[in-house]
Amino acid sequence: MKIMPNTSGPLVVVLLYDGLCTFEFGIAAEIFGLPRPEMGEGWYRFASCAIEDGPLRAQGGFRLTPDHDPELIDQADIIVVPGWRSASAPVPEALCQRLRVAHGRGARLVSLCSGAFVLAATGLLDGATVTTHWRYAEALRARHPSIAVDHACLYRAHGRLHTAAGSAAGIDLLIEIIRQDFGPEAANSVARRLVMPAHRTGGQAQFLERPVPARHQAEVAPLLDRIRADLAAPWTLPGMARECRMSLRTFIRRFTEATGAPPGAWLVAERVEEAKRLLRASQRGIEEIAAGVGLGTPDTLRHHFRRLVGVSPREYRLRFGQGLPNTGGPVS
């Protein structure tokens, strides 16, 4: 085994196995494995490791020659499990034990699509609410009744355990992890390179009833940029509709088609995201942050923050802040 040098950022290890789901592997390799010199020295290191002896085949008709064996898992800060070979395929106990040990020492475990079956087999998801591709939700519930399966959302987090729904939802989850680790600017930069929306919340539905017309998204996109640049402004539905030169009814329909969320819900989520950035990177107090992101009062910020993030602003700053002394007033 080649020992990965510990001279840079978090080590991301993606698992390889016979019958590898190549799309999900490609997502992780694209997001974490490409050189990104603009991100500086602390960016992720990327590697993959085989969890079993070869030869290993991958979907698409090619074979894999891994550089690393399962011992690399012991060094990983983030471990990504691509979609598993099938819902009924057993998960090796040796792999489960390595993942338990890794989680116990502080590593984050991430599953994409049916990779949730691997994390479920470890027992670490017992009592948690997770997601997977909607096609596998019933099978996951039946096989692991101690796990609550949310078949509708894009991704879920339970402490250091992350699960994503099918295929492209994995991109959303991995971009969210970048957002948590390096902030929204880094996440937006990676999303732009992927030609992806900068952020879709985990609670968004896995699929829309109708396909998203590209022209509608193009009509709404300039407004999204203007709103993000001035979140403190008193944005109203009629005002946003006028910006897009649409009737109110047409605007609401096209905005929802383009973003997957109604305008009001999208705006609140963007304001909370900016509040998260300020809590991580600044010394501002809750009153200043609430006003600066357009949520008005501390109570309003706390309400939406806890609803969308799951913790209070104070808990979030303690967990993810940079240790700056808070001289701008209390945060709670």
pLDDT tens-digit map of 136-177: 999 999 999 999 998 878 889 999 999 998 778 899 899 989
CATH of the domain at 294: 1.10.10.60
Q: What is the pLDDT of residues 167-212, one digit of tens each?
A: 788 998 999 899 889 888 888 888 888 877 655 554 444 443 333 3
CB 117 within 8 A of CB 137: no
Cis preceding-peptide flag for 55 (omega within 30 of 0): yes
> For residue 211, which amino acid is it?
P
The answer to whether residue 252 is domain-embedded is no
Q: Check pLDDT > 80 for residue 97.
A: yes
For residue 125, being part of any structural domain is answered with yes
| Listed residues 153, 168, 185: the one ending a domain | 185
> Is 260 domain-assigned?
no
**pLDDT-derived band at 258, boundaries 50, 70, 90:** confident
Q: Enter the tokens of residue 98.
A: 């390595």
d(CA 165, CA 154): 5
Q: Which of 185, 212, 234 is the last residue of a domain?
A: 185
Q: Would you state the pLDDT for residue 328?
A: 39
Domain's final residue, options 185, 217, 243:
185
CA distance 38 to 320: 22
For position 275, what pLDDT does the model report? Answer: 93
State how beta strands 148-149 and 161-164 pair.
unpaired
pLDDT surpassing 50 at residue 214: no
Question: Per the domain annotation, does 130 fall within a domain?
Answer: yes
Per the structure, the count of domains in the chain is 2
Per-residue model confidence as pLDDT tens digits over 105-123? 999 999 999 999 999 999 9
**Residue 126 Cα distances to 123, 135, 146, angstroms:** 6, 21, 5
**Residue 238: per-residue pLDDT:** 95
Residue span of the structural domain in which 273 resides: 266-320
Residue 319 has pLDDT above 90, yes or no: no
Task: Tell me whether residue 205 is in a domain.
Answer: no
What pLDDT does residue 200 have?
Answer: 58
Q: Are residues 174 and 286 in the same domain?
A: no
